[in-house]
Structure 1
Amino acid sequence: MSTTEQTTTVPAGTWTLDPVHSSIGFAVAYSGIGTFRGSFADYDASLRGGRLEGVAKVASVQVDDENLVGHLQTPDFFDAEQHPELRFVSSTIEREGERVTIQGDLTLRGVTTPVEITGTVSGPLENAYGQQRLGFDVETTVNRHDYGISWNMELPGGGQALADDVLITANLALVQEA
């Protein structure tokens, strides 16, 4: 750590999501040639008492192919009927300047595992409307098999259609409650 940077905590108070300026997504390598990306349209996040919590409705998954949306909601992937949400709850948040490391538990398909999320945090800053705002741009990589997501296809030339590791990203704009 440089002499000008100090480890600090996130601001006190209650911070709620600004969904217009936020997103939650995922990406996984496919067929050895590219990256398959998706996102969730229905999600929420908050920061209360130094604890960051987030939830996404699995049925709101969005990808460019409607047929794939349906497949992602089946037991091959998210199993939306049995497990309608994915959830994250932090246990610690460490901030050093703009860098942030968040430890916590990710629950997906009824399986909870500890994860480390890293990225940047901005603020708190006052916007043009007098609101205090805080931004997180963070990510983590998980092995989908840890959550029972094991569907795959053998490629004709060898290898698997989907990689094991999935990148989960969150760009969160939070507004301090008055």
Structure 2
Amino acid sequence: MSDQQLQPGTWRIDTAHSIVAFSVRHMMVSRVRGRFERFDAELTVPEDPMQSSVRATLDADSINTDNEQRDNHMRSADFFETASHPQWIFESTGIRTSGEDLLLAGDLTVKGTTRPVELRLEFNGVTRDPYGLLRAGFHAETEISRSDFGVDIEMPMDGGGVVVSDRIKVDVDAEFTLQE
């Protein structure tokens, strides 16, 4: 994956130094940005790091766009129905290279619907922190269609276009620590 190799073992996400964020076009002229406050992930690294796997869960109710009214609407049946679908899950199915890029494939489950997704993955390296823990950093990004996951609210605008775009950009910055 890089000149700095991941050591085999189980790595846990450090949520204090990680973020799962998204952005979506609003009214066709701007972007609304948000994040999830509660999530977890485990990375399993075998001898060959290209055979690694990751499983991540998001607490859908922890969505935060810094606007309580909008967040509550997104938790409702109009969008994510978090009372019925409290967790989103990503389970990787493989890693491959494409030119200079790493691509992480997996199955994403949102609102009870599972679809394959592919994330462009950057491996940022490994370091030992002042407490002796090995840390590894990653950045991943993708774009998904909300309607593919049953989030198909239609809010057309009078002049054309929609209030909320179907395309959602997802950005993840994750820092993991090796469990010893």
- Paired residue type of 2:145: N
**Cα RMSD (Å) of the superposition?**
2.3
Indicate yes or no: 2:26 matched with 1:30.
Answer: yes
Question: Are the counterparts in 1 of residues 97 and 103 from structure 2 also a CA contact under 8 Å?
Answer: yes
Question: Are the counterparts in 1 of residues 22 and 169 from structure 2 also a CA contact under 8 Å?
Answer: yes
Q: Could you list the runs of 5+ residues in structure 2 that have no partner in the other structure?
A: 46-51
In structure 2, what is the Cα distance between the partners aligned to 1:134 and 1:91? 20
TM-score when scaled to structure 1? Answer: 0.89
Question: Are the counterparts in 2 of residues 89 and 106 from structure 1 also a CA contact under 8 Å?
Answer: yes
Equivalent of residue 91 in structure 2, options 59, 78, 89: 89
Question: Are the counterparts in 2 of residues 76 and 151 from structure 1 also a CA contact under 8 Å?
Answer: yes
Indicate yes or no: 2:22 matched with 1:20.
Answer: no
Q: Report what 1:71 is aligned to.
A: 73
Q: Report what 1:152 is aligned to.
A: 154
Question: Are the counterparts in 1 of residues 34 and 65 from structure 2 also a CA contact under 8 Å?
Answer: yes
Could you say if the C-alpha distance between residues 56 and 152 of structure 1 is closer, same or farther in structure 2, counting changes exceeding 3 Å? same
Count of residues in correspondence between the two structures: 174
In structure 2, what is the Cα distance between the partners aligned to 1:6 and 1:58? 33
Equivalent of residue 163 in structure 1, options 162, 165, 177: 165
In structure 2, what is the Cα distance between the partners aligned to 1:19 and 1:104? 21
In structure 1, what is the Cα distance between the partners aligned to 2:2 and 2:137? 19
- Paired residue type of 1:20: A
CA displacement 1:16-54 (0-9 Å, x = unmatched): 011111000111111111111111111001102421111
Alignment of 1:1-178 (within 5 A): 11-49=7-45, 50-94=52-96, 99-178=101-180
Q: Could you list the runs of 5+ residues in structure 1 that have no partner in the other structure?
A: none
CA shift, 1:133, in A, is 0.8
Give aligned-pair identity as a percent: 30
